[in-house]
């Protein structure tokens, strides 16, 4: 269950913290539901704040319903950074997860796309078949928060094929991997109230391990071979940003689906306090 919460944490990427630039910013709030084979196993509450030049995020996720009888998993993630012309430039990333008695912690500082300081607990275990992490694997990367933040040329849905035509190079503190996106379609999502209503860009995705992984593990091989991976991107109102509305990951137990049941963006000139 921790993997499902972790996937949601990476997907939502959008929450509350102070943004340094003055002027108008967009406050984003969303609720995401996690299900496997149409059985709800978890939820997350996300809040975000974006300006033209910066982003900040925090999100809490946890298992829910009957899944809690099997595994009680919780996750907290924070990230912030700058928004460049065509990509996010993360500056800090923090992750805490707990499942039963097992906990993980990541504290990462970044500058110009490179890791400048890193603390991870636990450390990677030593195995002969583990692909070693080298210094170059910590350069020209984004963290898992920034990985799901797409910077477009203009506000709105734009050119779907251009949105999806990218390879996202991710370092999570333990492993370096690529997410290769490709355009599938642009479609309309119907929603009412605080649910999202509008166009989304659907990208297929492939997972490509680079370093820190063990190819002997079935979980790694399954992800490499998995052709049932999708990310649906929705635009953030009045910003050159798109964020995941829905993520689909095929598993042997059925599809793992992460979808926004609430998706609200409002404009404000007032900066929020950290953690609000």
Contact 230, 247 (CB under 8 A): yes
Question: What was the pLDDT predicted at 238?
Answer: 87
Give the residue ranges of the chain where pLDDT is below 50: 1-22, 66-70, 270-276
pTM for the whole structure:
0.87
Question: What was the pLDDT predicted at 16?
Answer: 39
- Residue 133 phi/psi, 5-degree rounding, is -80, 130
Q: What is the pLDDT of residues 33-44, one digit of tens each?
A: 999 998 988 988
Omega prior to 201 cis, within 30 of 0: no
CA 110 to chain centre: 17
CA 221 to chain centre: 22
What are 49's strand-pairing partners?
27, 56
Question: What was the pLDDT predicted at 264?
Answer: 94
Question: What was the pLDDT predicted at 269?
Answer: 63
Q: What is the pLDDT of residues 218-271, one digit of tens each?
A: 999 999 999 999 999 999 988 999 999 999 999 988 999 999 999 999 987 644
């Amino acid at each position: 269950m921790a993997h499902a919460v972790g996937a949601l944490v990476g997907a939502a990427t959008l929450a509350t913290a102070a943004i340094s630039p003055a002027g108008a910013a967009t406050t984003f709030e969303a609720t995401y539901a996690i299900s496997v084979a149409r059985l709800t196993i978890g939820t997350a509450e996300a809040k975000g704040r974006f300006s033209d030049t910066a982003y900040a995020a925090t999100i809490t996720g946890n298992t829910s319903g009957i899944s809690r009888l099997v595994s009680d998993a919780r996750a907290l993630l924070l990230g912030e950074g700058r928004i460049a012309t065509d990509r996010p430039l993360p500056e800090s990333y923090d992750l805490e997860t707990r499942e039963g008695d097992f906990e993980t912690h990541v504290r990462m500082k970044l500058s110009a796309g490179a890791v400048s300081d890193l603390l991870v607990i636990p450390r990677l275990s030593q195995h002969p078949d583990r692909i070693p992490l080298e210094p170059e694997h910590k350069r020209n990367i984004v963290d898992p928060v920034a990985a799901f933040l797409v910077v477009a040329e203009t506000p709105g849905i734009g050119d779907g094929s251009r949105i999806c035509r990218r390879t996202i190079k991710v370092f999570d503190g333990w492993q370096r991997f690529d997410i290769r996106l490709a355009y599938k379609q642009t479609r309309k999502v119907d929603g009412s109230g605080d649910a999202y209503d509008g166009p989304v860009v659907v990208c297929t995705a492939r997972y490509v391990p680079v370093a820190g992984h063990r190819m002997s593990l079935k979980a790694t091989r399954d992800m490499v071979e998995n052709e049932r991976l999708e990310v649906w991107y929705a635009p953030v109102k009045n910003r050159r940003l798109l964020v995941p509305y829905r993520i689909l990951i095929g598993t042997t137990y059925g599809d793992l689906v992460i979808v926004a049941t609430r998706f609200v963006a409002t404009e404000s000139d007032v900066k929020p306090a950290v953690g609000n």
